[in-house]
Amino acid sequence: MPVSASPHSPPASRTPAARRRRLYWHRLFFGLWYRPVEILDEARDRSVWGAAAFLCVLCGVLGTMGRDGFWEGWRVGPAFALEAMAIADAVLVLASLLLGIATQAIARRLGGNGKFGPTVTLFVVVFWATDLPRLALDACLPGGSFPVRAAAWVTSAFGYAFATLLIRGQHHLPTHKAVAAVSIQMLAAVALLKFPATTG
């Protein structure tokens, strides 16, 4: 015999889907270093345009301050030096987005199914968040010094690994395809930005 609902019984449970915890920028940036798998899984399918733009600008400022040419221009005229920094930051933001777009296109071509916004923005965040230690050292020490060079190698390795983890989870690709999806962009960016032919 079916049991009828009591008039005093509570209504049927309508448990809403658990809301995802808000991912603050500082947790995203620093979490990549001490629990990358968990953070990238938590960030999956989230677009982080603001965080990506902020990191591009911050890293552009640090990178510009690490160049002798900026300080020479500053001595000539601070306004001119700041204008050059702003232009460099704008170019860096555009170039970073193009790297993310290329990564998204290659991952989709290899059979991935990740969304455009999360892939592009999280790729930018991973690249620049892992490069922050090198840029901070480069702003304080000569570009050819051993600590800067060592930081370049270490951050390059971490950036490559984290980008692979990102694409593997975001696009549900096997590891070898995720590596292929990020290799060209990462190697080109690392060669141009971290190991340029000339420094200063």
Q: Return the structure tokens found at 17.
A: 């889907």
Show the beta-strand stretches assigned E in 82-167.
none
Q: How far is CA 81 from the centre of its chain?
A: 27
29 domain-assigned: no
Q: How many domains does the chain have?
A: 1
Owning domain of residue 132: 45-194
Q: What is the pTM of this model?
A: 0.82
11 domain-assigned: no
175 domain-assigned: yes
pLDDT in tens, 20-32: 677 778 888 888 8
26 domain-assigned: no
pLDDT in tens, 33-49: 888 888 888 888 888 99
Q: Please name the residues in contact with 165: beta carbons below 8 A apart, sequence gap of 6 or more.
A: 36, 37, 40, 178
164 domain-assigned: yes
